[in-house]
Amino acid sequence: MLVYKILFSLIIAIFTLSISIDSSYSRNSSVIDNLDHHLLNSHNQLQTTINGSISHNKITNNNSNNNNPLPGYTQEILLDNQIQPIKNIDTNHVNSLLQNQENNVVLPKIYKSIIPSLVQVTAYNSSNHTIFKTGSGFIFNDNQIPTIITASNLVAGKNNITITLSNGVSYYSNLTGYDPLTNLATLSVSNIPKSKLIPLQLGNSSSLEEGQQVVAIGNTMGLKNQITSGIISGLEQPIPVLSNVFTSFPKFTIGISTNLNLGNGYGGSPLLDTNGKVIGMNIVNYTLSDVSSSISDSSSSKNSGISFAVSSNTIIKITPSLLSKGYYEHPWFGASGTDVNLDIAKALNLKEPRGFLVIDVAPSSPAKKAGIIGGDNTTVINGRPITLGGDVILQIDNKDIQNIHDIVAYIESKKNIGDKVVLTVLRNGIIQYNTIKLISNPNYLLQLNE
């Protein structure tokens, strides 16, 4: 009698599971055809086990048994610890199918909503009005002031610029501001009817995560509004400066790296999340040779499978200054040097290779005024001349520093001109603290105004 009670409970459980599966089917009807064979195999192989001493029995239910909720079903009961595992559905495959289904819905929706706000940017050579470069851009409102965001290496130094909207109509434009360090530029929209100025909404790039899905829409190879998708590869990444105008300025800024293999022409296009919000401006994977050559020249295309983008928070931070002054003043503390590697750490008797070794301190710089000391003793370490004797910066505002990238990333993203930072430095084996008030980089402004 006990065995039959147990059997009846098991049958009820199987019946409930069947109802649950059927309910799941109805909720996911769009992918049911892809899952049928998985669920059917799992249902047919569903077996239960009762621990006991009774030998392997097979009990067949018939339609005449009123107590049987599943008439006509045959249920195997395996005893004597003869456990048969239930085969599970391939959840990875199911999730992949569901993700593909979601993308099939989301990406077309994003595309249709974004297209009216995208533009093609064409810069011409002033001397003969031949095309210098073509690229992408998007409409943006800064405090109700409409502008077009694009890449500065596309338009810097060019007076003849045209903007082509998604409907194919072109308008003359001109450069209103640019920042070669971040590769951001703003273009005028005074000749474009206000009804055509549909701005995109910017998201908060500080909430992004590595591995998050992203979308890019831009112009490339003579094709307009090409959409592609991928993932974020890294955040707060060092990005090479994509302008050859300033050869003496640091060759990196801070931004987003993605696995989007973007071609020439995507520069200035928006990087979007799956909600259609702008989380960055694509600056592609140009080399200096790419910058100095025409985008229409396919031989100059050098894609490595990794592309870069300036974050939306950087756009929000810099654009107001580009619109009001035509440039952006980057905060600066005025010290240069090298990262502490294993060889330098050994030479300095440090326990671990971390921090930034100061070699030079610019005259009249904030670092100089705060008492930061540069090197004075040049030695050769593994064939490389290194100037020792300077401070080793270990922290900035109590945040650990592994290299110069950490310092630049923090100052560029978190600080403005006039802000103060506290540097934790190691000098002659003693920890000390120096407060520095950041100022605008005079060398940068001098080159920008030339």
User: Each residue of 269-319: pLDDT tens digit?
Assistant: 999 999 999 999 998 664 444 434 433 333 444 555 678 899 999 999 999
Is 104's pLDDT higher than 90?
no
Angle 397-399-401 (CA atoms, 0-180°, nearest 5)?
115
Asked whether 417 and 439 are in contact (CB, 8 A), the reply is yes
Q: Which amino acid is located at 275 in the chain?
A: N
Nearest to 73 by CA among 22, 132, 12: 12
pLDDT tens for each residue of 414-434: 899 999 999 999 998 899 999
- Domains of the chain, start order: 2-89 (no CATH), 113-325 (2.40.10.120), 331-448 (2.30.42.10)
Is 5's pLDDT higher than 70?
no
* 378 CB-near residues (< 8 Å, 6+ apart): 385, 386, 387, 388
* Ranges 132-136, 230-234, 446-450: which has the least confidence: 446-450
Identify the pLDDT of residue 47. Answer: 40
pLDDT tens for each residue of 159-171: 789 999 999 999 9
> In whole numbers, what is the pLDDT of the chain averaged over residues?
77
The whole-number average pLDDT for the span 88-98 is 52
Q: Tell me the pTM.
A: 0.69
Which CA distances in Å does 200 have to 15, 93, 215, 321, 404? 52, 35, 14, 19, 34
Asked whether 324 and 187 are in contact (CB, 8 A), the reply is no
* Ranges 76-85, 222-231, 358-367: which has the least confidence: 76-85
- Categorize the per-residue pLDDT at 24 as very low, low, confident or very high, splitting at 50, 70 and 90: very low
